[in-house]
Amino acid sequence: MDDIQLCKDIMDLKQELQNLVAIPEKEKTKLQKQREDELIQKIHKLVQKRDFLVDDAEVERLREQEEDKEMADFLRIKLKPLDKVTKSPA
């Protein structure tokens, strides 16, 4: 499940929860109260899953950024001798 789908699912569940919360507490059936609790738990789990995906994506982004820096440094070192050869006086 990707981030976009998780967000959509969370929004759908929140909408259903808002509909239930709008019902006055004394008018809610036992089933509606149970569904409200169930929705809260589902939303919480999906938010935790999304947080994990976001954190994982950030770690991956930082790792790739570090790899890019290392590659740039490596190429700079390797290409420096070529600069001296190509820039020698003619």
pLDDT in tens, 40-66: 999 999 999 999 999 999 999 999 999
pLDDT at residue 90, as a whole number: 55
DSSP the chain: --HHHHHHHHHHHHHHHHHHHTS-GGG--HHHHHHHHHHHHHHHHHHHHHHHHHHHHHHHHHHHHHHHHHHHHHHHHHHHHHHHHHTS--
Each domain of the chain, given as residue ranges in start order, spans: 3-86
Identify the band that residue 83 occupies on the pLDDT scale cut at 50, 70 and 90.
low
Considering the entire predicted model, what is its pTM? 0.69
Distances (CA, A) of 25 to 22, 28, 40: 9, 5, 16
Tokens of 68: 């890019």
